[in-house]
Amino acid sequence: MKDKDPKPGVVIDVTPDQGTDKPDEAPFTANARGSQSRGRRTAGWPLVLAVLAMLAVAAAAYLGYRYWSDLAREITALDARVAEQLSRQQQMQESVNSAAEAVRIQGSTLGEQREVLAQQRMAFEEARAAFRQQEQILAEENLRLQERETELRAAVADVHHRVGSSGTQWMIAETEYLLRIANHRLTLARDTDTARVALELANQRLRDSNDPGWAGVREQIARDIAELSAFEAPDSAGLSSRLTALIEQIPQLGISGAAVRPKRTPHEPAGLSSGERSWDTLLDDLWSGFKDTVRIRQHDAPVQTMLAPEHEFFLYENLKLHLEAARLGLVRGDQALFRDNLQVAADWLDRYFDPNDAKTAALSQAIDEMQAIDIRPELPDISLSLRALQARQDLMRDIAPGRTESQ
């Protein structure tokens, strides 16, 4: 071994004394060699520890790399899901913008309808005033006719009392007058009750004449009375009251698509409390928060445009107006006006109102029932009795011209 090579361990330089004997050098040399051997063994431990530390660092780096690689893949997948949800949200925003545009257009349409409604309301008020005036005139005319009829009955009774029961000419004249009254009341006023009573009185007058020659006229009068009895006049007063009740129920109807009220149920992961959250539950927490932020609903049918509250008012009022117009047609006996307005009201119920609402379904059913009613049925013809009487009178004049009816 050369002296220039550095060796690990402890190096001891010893300078022997000149006067020391050579046999004393051997023990000292043995001690120096033992010290060098122990120094070599001590110098190997730091190297072993450094290698172990490097292996531990490498293992930790490998495990950290795998963990962060898995976390990066999960974050990438989550970003993809977020991007997909953002795309869906953008589509929903476009749908909402389209719905808002439709609402704006509908608002403009409803504004135009508001003007039309105002004009129709003015026309309806004018028609109602004219109808009331006409109704009052008819009531006064009916009262005058009744008074006139009473006066005529009194006059006929007085003449009959003066002439006596032996003369039948006055009975025949009274019968003709009663038949004319029956035809006029049925044709002009559609009053079947008064017409039937007039026919029955005419039949009594012919019966009191005790003349079998009037049997054919009495048979025709009996047929006319049977037809009037079988005739069923529509209950105009009852239908008018029913329409009024339906109009009062309109504000209680529910409008289809007026509001959307989703049921919101907050999501909370089961079995996890705030103290148990960790990196392992990070994705579940993020997904739960995202689901609470964005909610997607599926509908089997297209979503209807929602109406503003001020537009709902005009919708109700317009439906009331159509039912009022149907009521006016009922009073006038105008079948077309009555049925057309009921049809429009039924279409509006199907289009704008909630079909699942019980009151809406009941109102629609009532309108359908009234549409099937004929408010102006064809009246029976009772003019044959008067024609038969006149034909009998003409025959008697041809047989005995210038003679009065035999007693």
User: Are residues 372 and 310 located together in one domain of the fold?
Assistant: yes
Does the pLDDT value for residue 89 go beyond 80?
yes
| Confidence at 137, pLDDT banded by 50, 70, 90 | very high
Q: Does residue 37 fall inside a structural domain?
A: no
- Domain match, 238 and 371 both: yes
For 322-404, strand residue ranges (E) read none
Evaluate if pTM is beyond 0.75: no
pLDDT value of residue 257: 60
User: What's the rounded Cα separation, in Å, for the pair 309 and 279?
Assistant: 49
Overall average pLDDT of the 70-81 stretch: 89
At residue 255, the 3 state secondary structure works out as strand
Sole residue written with tokens 């002009």: 188
Q: What CA–CA distance (Å, rounded) separates 321 from 330?
A: 14
Mean pLDDT of 195-224: 87
Q: Within 10 Å of residue 95's Cβ, how many Cβ atoms?
A: 11
Flag whether pLDDT at 280 surpasses 70: no
**Is 220 in the same domain as 243?**
no
Number of domains composing the chain: 2
Residue 274 is assigned to a structural domain of this protein: no
Gap between the Cα atoms of 313 and 321, Å rounded: 12
CB distance 372 to 135 below 8 Å: no
Q: Half-sphere exposure (CA, 13 Å, Cβ side) for 224? A: 29
91 burial class (0-12, 13-18, 19+ CB within 10 angstroms)? exposed
Q: Quick check: is 50 in a domain?
A: no
Whether 99 is in a domain gets the answer: no
Average pLDDT over residues 374-380: 80
**Which residue range forms the structural domain that includes residue 317?**
234-256+306-376
The pLDDT of residue 405 is 43
The first and second tokens of residue 315, run together, are 């919708």
pLDDT beyond 60 at 197: yes
pLDDT digits (tens, 9 = 90+) for 313-358: 888 888 888 888 888 888 887 888 888 888 988 888 888 888 888 8
Specify if 317 maps to a domain: yes
Kindly state the tokens that stand for 298: 């599926």
**End-to-end Cα distance, the chain:** 186
Residue 370 included in any domain: yes
25 domain-assigned: no
Residue 262's pLDDT is 42
- What pLDDT, on a 0 to 100 scale, did the predictor assign at position 12? 46
